[in-house]
Amino acid sequence: MVDLRRSAILSGNQAVAEIAEGPVVWLDEQLPDIVIIVTWDTGGFVDWSSADSAPHLYIARLNSEVHLADITGVNTNVNESKGEQRFIFTADSGDDTEGGLWNNTTDPLTVAMAVGQYPVIGVGGTNPLIVGERIYIGTEFLQVTTILANDVTFSRGAGGSAVAVHADSVSIFNSFNPFTSPGQYVAQTVGLFSGKTHRTQRFLIEVLDSVPAP
């Protein structure tokens, strides 16, 4: 989990101009997920289990209306009745599970990921996995610990997710960082309740291009 952010959701349909204090991240940082706790402006937690559909997290540059990311929330390892919702910074890699190699709960898990079977995230692929990177299958995070020749070894259940068995032909998602350059970004959560759209206060995300000296 990158950050725990509290934000008040406002009744009505209007966007909110106020910007609450937000997290600081670095341009090259892996952003697997963020958990947001949301309360109603009239008091009490938002119960996401009563929403019409999963909420969305929108991210844009400060003073821009162009969305850089639209991330759908999930209820993995959160308490929806306490206003919690998880947003996972992932994108479909284009590669799928195959060969029955993911159909287990072995930890650590080593998978032969030659480019022929995994043309995108496999070893030598167009966007190959690197040590420390996380992938997301179903509801489980797996983190790359070592890469030796074509063998990629993963630590299971990363980020507090539950280890699960994965069938073949399931999409593999890898990390996605919407912050393309240093500067200030804003994020806002939008939910639908009884056919009515509600928006949270926007919060600020400061992105640096390098880690400051201690």
Going from N- to C-terminal start, the domains of the chain cover: 4-89+177-208, 93-174
What's the pTM value of the predicted model, to 2 decimals? 0.69
Of 31 and 177, the structure prediction assigns the larger pLDDT to: 177
% of the chain surpassing 70 pLDDT: 83
Give the residue from 85, 77, 70 showing the smallest Cα distance to 36: 85
CATH of 93-174, one of 2.40.33, 2.40.10, 3.40.140, 2.30.42: 2.40.33
**What is the Cα–Cα distance from 154 to 123, expressed in whole angstroms?**
14
CATH code for the structural domain at 4-89+177-208: 2.60.40.3350
Task: Work out the pLDDT band at 11, boundaries 50, 70, 90.
Answer: very low
Average of per-residue pLDDT across 151-180? 89
What's the start-to-end Cα distance of the chain, in Å? 23
- Residue environment code for 92-104, b if the CB has 16+ CB neighbours within 10 A, otherwise e: ebbbbbeeebbee
Q: What is the Cα–Cα distance from 205 to 23, expressed in whole angstroms?
A: 5
Mean pLDDT of the chain: 81
